[in-house]
Amino acid sequence: MTARQLKTWTWLHKWSSLVCTVFMLLLCLTGLPLIFHHEIGHLLGTEVEPAPMAAGTPHVSLDRILQAAQARHPDRVVQFSSPHEDTDDLWFVTLTPTPAPTDDFRSVAVDARTGAVVAEPRFDTGFMWVMLKLHVDLFAGLPGKLFLGLMGLLLCIAIVSGVVLYAPFMRKLDFGAVRRDKSPRVKWLDLHNLLGIVTLVWALVVGFTGVVNTWADLLIKYWQYAEISHIVAPYKDLPVVTPAERAPVQAALQAAQARTPGQRVSFVAYPGTAFSSPHHVTFFMKGGTPLTARLLQPVMVDARTAQVTAMPRLPWYLTALLLSQPLHFGDYGGLPMKVIWALLDIATIVVLGSGLYLWFKRRAPRTLRDEAGVEGAGIQPTG
């Protein structure tokens, strides 16, 4: 590598790191409890579980479940509903002032065997909600998401440039060496480089999947424009279906299940919401394995007739989005994978923190090279 190339890579690493480090530290700190959100929910008693009943107890209709939830909030409309992650015995119904996307929502948990309301959990308050909002959009909505996506791209640039610089920096040292006999700054420099290499693949995976997740709103809007608009074109001259004109939702559910044997409902989007059209109830069906449970199949059912209108395949960019979401939080391999994710998250916090330390304690480049015993045109990793 020429001195000019080395200088360019050093500049890229330094400034991409400096710009994104504080925000990446925030995301790592807020992401740590989010990795264990289910476990923390059980510990705090905020997780809602179905009451024990005899196996095979029949379920009431989905219409009755929605009516029970609606009775608790008659001034709101049902936006989404979904069964419990592990069982169809419990359903969660989301109600909002209008079908449009909003942060103003209420959630009602209904026992599918009795039709009785079990709880009204609040997912928009408390410590975990604050952590989630800071992690997702900094309480700034779509602009906050896109800003964090930009910081994620800078993190990827910092990682790649750090790898390029690692080989010439370690030319006279053993791989992973930490020189404990040197000054604190040199020891932190070696530790920064070592942990950076150890967490390299994980940081790239989590960083890139995080970037993809920040594009979720835009990708969904594009899907609606590019794909769904053609499906609903025959309805363009029809008035928007009202709740009174809708066929029983249970009939629509049975029609969707008949077209997707062996799959279960992931969630249901009602007419006018972000994941449906003004004329359809859309069922998102999923498989039973850890992978197929993330690959959703939309089934669009005419809200008036309860007849299946279309089963569009999700485009590659939405499939990538669905696969990236659980990978970002280590949700594929149960608790062992979450523990690994948490340890790597902590190691990345050390990498980022040490990068800031090295920057604030920086010296003249020549002095640092002499102290560290490193050859190379002014290499000064900064995180």
Domains 59-125 and 214-329 share a fold: yes
Q: Give pLDDT tens digits for 255-288.
A: 999 999 999 999 999 999 989 999 999 999 999 8
Residue pLDDT tens, the chain, 383 long:
788 888 888 899 889 988 999 999 999 999 999 999 888 888 877 788 888 898 889 999 999 999 999 999 999 999 999 999 889 999 999 999 999 888 899 999 999 999 999 999 988 888 989 999 999 999 999 999 999 999 999 999 998 888 888 767 666 666 556 666 677 777 777 777 777 777 888 999 999 999 999 999 999 889 888 888 889 999 988 888 888 899 999 999 999 999 999 999 999 999 999 899 999 999 999 998 877 888 899 999 999 999 999 999 889 999 999 888 888 888 776 788 899 999 999 999 988 888 888 888 765 444 545 455 544 333 334 44
Q: Give pLDDT tens digits for 64-94.
A: 999 999 999 999 999 999 999 889 999 999 9
pTM of the model: 0.84
Concatenated DSSP letters for 53-75? --TTPPPPPHHHHHHHHHHH-TT
Helix then strand then coil, in percent of the chain rounded to 5, is: 55, 10, 35
Beta carbons of 279 and 308 less than 8 angstroms apart: no
Q: Are strands 308-310 and 297-302 parallel, antiparallel or unpaired?
A: antiparallel
Residue 346 sits at the vertex; the CA angle it makes with 341 and 349, to the nearest 5 degrees, is: 125
Residues 6+ apart with CB under 8 A from 263: 257, 285, 286, 287, 288, 297
Going across the sheet that includes 264-269, the strands are 117-119, 106-111, 90-96, 77-83, 264-269, 280-286, 297-302, 308-310
What would the two tokens of residue 314 be?
């999700």
DSSP 8-class letter at 244:
G
User: Domain 59-125 is in which class?
Assistant: alpha beta
CB atoms within 10 A of CB 154: 22
Domain ranges, ordered by start, for the chain: 3-39+130-212+335-372, 59-125, 214-329
Residues 6+ apart with CB under 8 A from 25: 349, 352, 353, 356
Beta carbons of 205 and 327 less than 8 angstroms apart: yes
Beta carbons of 156 and 211 less than 8 angstroms apart: yes
Beta carbons of 196 and 175 less than 8 angstroms apart: no
Coil, helix or strand for 131?
A: helix
User: Using CB atoms within 10 A of its CB, is residue 4 exposed (0-12), middle (13-18) or buried (19+)?
Assistant: exposed
Start-to-end CA span in the chain (Å)? 21
Give which of 124, 94, 99, 97 is closest to 109, Cα–Cα.
94
Q: Give pLDDT tens digits for 207-237.
A: 999 999 999 999 988 988 888 888 999 998 8
Assess if CATH 3.90.550 describes domain 214-329. Answer: no
Tokens 């779509």 belong to which residue?
142
CA gap 228, 27 in Å, rounded: 34
